[in-house]
Structure formats: structure tokens, C-alpha cells
Amino acid sequence: MFDYKTVEEKATEWGLTPRHVQHLCRKGKIEGAVKRAGAWFISDEAPNPVKNTKADDKPFKFVGTKKKIFDNSIKLFTQKGYENVSINDIAATIGIRQSAVYNHFKSKQEILETIYKFYYHNYLIDRIDPEVMDSLLQKASLMDIIIKGFLWEFDENILGQMADISKIIIQRASTDESAAEIFQKLMLEEGVRFVDDGLKRAVEINRLAPFNTRAVAVLINSVRLCMLLWWLANPPYDTYMRNVKDEQAAYEYVITLLTDMDPPANQ
């Protein structure tokens, strides 16, 4: 039986802030962390999470032939649809025998599942650090908070792949349980939760007056999803999102809501 400690106790032990430890618990980055009655408890034997930073976390750093199979599978699934691509098609784009693909992946389904895991991993890891978020909430403009704090900034090397995988997930969400789960848990639920936590923190430090943070979080996440769908329909990926005026206008509307709200009736 493990002995468990509170977030505050482990934060002191690891030299981190309790807020950062809670953030890592939510991301699933701390082994042995469990949530009970709304509070996190961590196994006394859990390893220090600073050893699992982004720089050291390399579960999808494929090289050689395996990387070529992985990268070209994403391209083919995006262009033709998963059902219309065969192992032979994947092998042909690389210039290897079909049998060579099986040295790295057992099946086309395993390739797809690995693509989903890659997306899930990178979607969660590319988040702003809690301490940086606090500084942003205190000093930055509301527009910068929304753009820099609540949006993901993927590594330039995987930006195109994340966009392609988004398209695969959206295409397959109605027929593939794994794709539907990613869309529901990441793009919807996690997207709203992430923004909601940031807005609640802004209220907590008195940057914003109390308001319905979840409602605004849903609005911001909806704008983000609309931009994602528009992005996928209007490549190239490396230029389009940097020039979407409607996105800026949408966030300006959100800021108007945040700064021009009537005070609660009971105040």
C-alpha cells in the first residue's frame, strides 16, 4: 500500500509551486496521482516530475524507416482517407517492400493508433507553464492573454502534422470511437477546461471581476474550433492561420464581453 501526500507536501519536496503540481496532475504527468473529493493526492514513491519535462519526453521521436512510414501514413490518410489507403500504398511512397512496414508496425490499425497517441501527447504537452501564465495574466493585455495564453503553440516541426491529424480525427469522428473520444475529450472538454482554468485564475488574482468563466471559455474554444475547421479547409497550413482577420475580430468581441459587462444584480 502506497503512502500518499498532498499537493502542497510534494510541491515542497520537489521545489515546485502547488499550482504547477496540480497542473501536472491534470496532465497525467505524475505517476501515482489520484483525485479524491476534488483534491489531488500523490504517492510518496512518485518520481519527481521535472524528470519528465518536454525536453526529456521522447516517446514519438521516430527515426529512419519508421519515421518515413509514420510521416507518409499521415499524409496518405489525410489525402485519401484511412479506408482508401493500404499498407502497400504506404510502402510504395517510401520505396520499400510491403513486408518491411510490418517490421515497425503490426498493421495499418496500429499505425493509426500511434498517430492518435502522437496527437494526444503533443496536444497536452504544448501548454504554457503555470508560472508564465500567472505573469501573463497580471501584465499582458486581454488580447495577448487569449492569443498567447489560451492557444496552443506547437513546435514548427510538427505544426503541419498536427493539422493533418486534426483533419483525420474530424473525418473519422463519426465512425471511429478513438477519433470521437479525442474530439470530445481534447478538442471540446479539455479545450474548455484549459481556458476556464485560466479565466478563473485571472479572477482569483483580481485581474478580472467575477463572471461566468465557463461560458466565456466555451465561446473562446468555439472560436478556436471554427478557426481550426477553416484552417483545414484552406491550406497552406504555415500561412493561413497567421492572416485570419475574423479570428482577431472574434476575440475582440470576447474582450468586449469581459470589459463591458453589467455588475451582478446582487452587488
| DSSP code per residue over 26-59 | HTT-STTEEEETTEEEEETTPPPGGGG-GGG--T
**Is 123 domain-assigned?**
no
Q: Which residue among 117, 140, 158 closes a domain?
A: 117
Greatest mean pLDDT among 3-17, 66-80, 130-144, 239-253: 66-80
132 and 188 co-located in one domain: yes
Separation between Cα atoms, residue 136 and residue 149, nearest integer Å: 7
Does the bond joining 18 to the residue before it have cis omega, within 30 degrees of 0? no
**Is 233 domain-assigned?**
yes
Separation between Cα atoms, residue 212 and residue 254, nearest integer Å: 13
**Is 69 domain-assigned?**
yes
Give the pLDDT band (50/70/90) at residue 143: confident
- Mean pLDDT computed over 213-233: 83
Q: Which residue among 91, 117, 143 closes a domain?
A: 117
**Are the beta carbons of 21 and 10 closer than 8 angstroms?**
yes
113 and 172 co-located in one domain: no
**How many CB atoms are closer than 10 A to CB 96?**
15
Q: 2 pLDDT exceeds 60?
A: no
89 and 166 co-located in one domain: no
**How many CB atoms are closer than 10 A to CB 187?**
19
Give the pLDDT band (50/70/90) at residue 266: very low
**Is 266 domain-assigned?**
no
**Is 38 domain-assigned?**
yes
**Is 267 domain-assigned?**
no
Tally of domains within the chain: 3
Q: Which positions ≥6 away from 173 have C-beta within 8 Å? A: 179, 180, 183
Domain that holds residue 24: 4-54
207 and 238 co-located in one domain: yes
**Is 122 domain-assigned?**
no
**How many residues are given for the chain?**
267
The grid coordinates of residue 129 equal 507553464
Identify the weakest region by mean pLDDT among 42-56, 82-96, 151-165.
42-56
Q: Which residues lie across from 33 on neighbouring strands?
A: 42
- In this prediction, residue 155 carries a pLDDT of 66
